Amino acid sequence: MAAKETRVTDVKVVGFDADDTLWENENHFQEAERRYAALLSPFAEAASVSAELFRTETGNIAIYGYGVKSFTLSMVETAVRISGGAVPARVVGEVLELGKGLLTMPVILLPGVEETLAALKERFRLVLVTKGDLVDQESKLARSGLEGFFHHIEIVSEKDESNYRSLLRHLDLRPEQFVMVGNSLKSDILPVIRFGGYGIHIPFHATWQHEKVDEADVPKERLLAARSIREVPGLLGSRA
């Protein structure tokens, strides 16, 4: 994505997304979905299974929120619907194991994360802003070994403008003093730049369909782009 080439010089706090910004996440979900589609191959083709699962997930966000538990419940619901109620209990058990596997797998940090956070912590307050299941996100953060880098940790049900504004009030910040770093234009970038903050977008090679937006709808003002997290310090001027 083309973005205005600039350096941000008035920022005091740098916010970081977690999943697919600090550690791998979506590729694990996609692998679980491939295995899930194989389990349901007697009832439907893989593309149909994925389409139905996404429809179920989207409808369940308002009920279950985001994360592995929501994904697992949506897999079970979709299996029952696709099979007309004929899905064997053995398959349901394997689906549940797919979900448990996602909850307990090792946290794999993306390249450059630790050294970048260490460098930025010397110049700014760092906060973590992530959405999803509270227990799962807390567990991943603990396993990541990154908790000590952050002045504040915010786990929310949705990353929207209201929750970001609430965070800034808690931190006693003006919008122009905050920059959010993340892989999702929809959740990490748009809500922040719409009310006057900055966003640094770092694309990840895999993106959940629900997080995709038309890049033409993304304002370029106050938006910066990076190819990796290692480029973030160079986009930020010294703290005033």
Residue 176, domain CATH: 3.40.50.1000
User: Does residue 240 belong to any structural domain of this protein?
Assistant: no
Query: How many domains would you assign to the chain?
Result: 2
| Angstrom distance (rounded) from CA 87 to CA 38 | 13
Q: What is the pLDDT of residue 75?
A: 97
Q: Are residues 116 and 186 in the same domain?
A: yes
Q: Tell me the sheet residues that pair with 129.
A: 154
Where are the strands (E) in the chain, listed by range?
13-16, 125-131, 152-156, 178-182, 198-201, 223-225
| Enclosing domain of residue 52 | 26-104
Q: Are residues 37 and 155 in the same domain?
A: no
Distances from the Cα of 219 to the Cα of 193, 215, 224, 225, angstroms: 8, 9, 11, 13
Q: Are residues 19 and 98 in the same domain?
A: no
Question: Residues 2-42: pLDDT tens digits?
Answer: 444 456 778 999 999 999 999 999 899 999 999 999 999 99
User: Does residue 209 belong to any structural domain of this protein?
Assistant: yes
Nearest to 159 by CA among 113, 211, 224, 203: 211
pTM of the model: 0.88
Q: Are residues 216 and 149 in the same domain?
A: yes
Q: Are residues 96 and 163 in the same domain?
A: no
Q: What is the pLDDT of residue 212?
A: 64
Q: Are residues 112 and 207 in the same domain?
A: yes
Per-residue pLDDT of the chain (240 residues; tens, 9 = 90+): 444 445 677 899 999 999 999 999 989 999 999 999 999 999 999 999 999 999 999 999 999 988 999 999 999 999 999 999 999 999 999 999 999 999 999 999 999 999 999 999 999 999 999 998 899 999 999 999 999 999 999 999 889 999 999 999 999 999 999 999 999 998 899 999 999 999 999 998 666 566 667 676 676 788 999 999 999 999 997 544
User: Does residue 176 belong to any structural domain of this protein?
Assistant: yes
